[in-house]
Amino acid sequence: MKKSELVYRELLRSFIEEKKAVFTQLGLANALGISLSTVNNALQPLRSMGAVRVKRRSFEIVNARKILYYWASARSLEKDIIYKTRADMDISEIEKRMPPQAVFAAYTAYKFRFKDAPADYSEVYVYCSSDGLREVARRFPQGNALNPNVFVLRKDFADNKMPLANIFVDLWNLKEWYARDFLKALEGKLGGILA
């Protein structure tokens, strides 16, 4: 994930899950371990589209929906895939066999977060650090690369809770027809939050 995307994820996570709308560039840079210039550059398009309002010593989110869709359009999920394979078993079995270090993304993240799945799905996406990746590869050895159904993405966040905005952006970037059903359901859940 690009460093600018870390900024978008943190802004949206804070806004959606903590109801926080006011930030400082220095505070974001320190929290994310990135440079102040990276934060400034990431905010430039958000300023231009009126998604954030810059004040003297801080800035404020004024349209989180614009930030979410901007990030979704900028995201390249494919570039963050560090491992993929085929596991010839039911999706629920793949999910059960995932190591505890794996953080579910996309379809599974939605299903576990909301105790619901708007459609059947046939892929499991997880975020893992290098230790988690080794364990996933041990449990799901390299197989048919032409039709994979297990995908590991590079984990670049500390905790093991997938932010709602990250679930949305990952779903936005998936090409399967049922991603649309998940997106529509998640848009409904985010509608009141982002209004």
Domain map (residue ranges) of the chain = 3-74, 77-194
Angle at which helix 179-194 crosses helix 64-74, to 10 degrees, equals 150
62 close to 71: Cβ distance less than 8 angstroms = no
Q: What is the pTM of this model?
A: 0.92
164: nearest Cα among 186, 194, 143, 142: 186
Domain 3-74 top-level CATH class:
mainly alpha
The band of 48, judged by pLDDT with boundaries at 50, 70 and 90, is very high
b or e along 131-150 (b: 16 or more beta carbons within 10 Å of the residue's beta carbon)? ebbeebbeebeeeeeeebbb
C-alpha 66/C-alpha 68 separation (Å) is: 5
Please write the tens of the pLDDT for every residue from 135-182.
999 999 987 678 999 999 999 887 788 999 999 999 999 999 999 999
Q: Is the pLDDT of residue 195 over 70?
A: no
Please write the tens of the pLDDT for every residue from 63-82.
999 999 999 999 999 999 99
Positions of E strands within the chain: 22-23, 52-54, 59-61, 81-85, 103-105, 124-128, 150-154
Place of tokens 């996309």: 106
Least confident stretch, 17-21, 87-91, 128-132? 128-132
Positions of E strands within 16-133: 22-23, 52-54, 59-61, 81-85, 103-105, 124-128
C-alpha 45/C-alpha 47 separation (Å) is: 5
The band of 14, judged by pLDDT with boundaries at 50, 70 and 90, is very high
* pLDDT score recorded for residue 11: 97
C-alpha 84/C-alpha 100 separation (Å) is: 18
**Which phi and psi angles does 88 have, rounded to 5°?**
-85, 75
Please write the tens of the pLDDT for every residue from 76-117.
999 999 999 999 999 999 999 999 999 999 999 999 999 999
Give the bridge partners for 103, in sequence order.
127
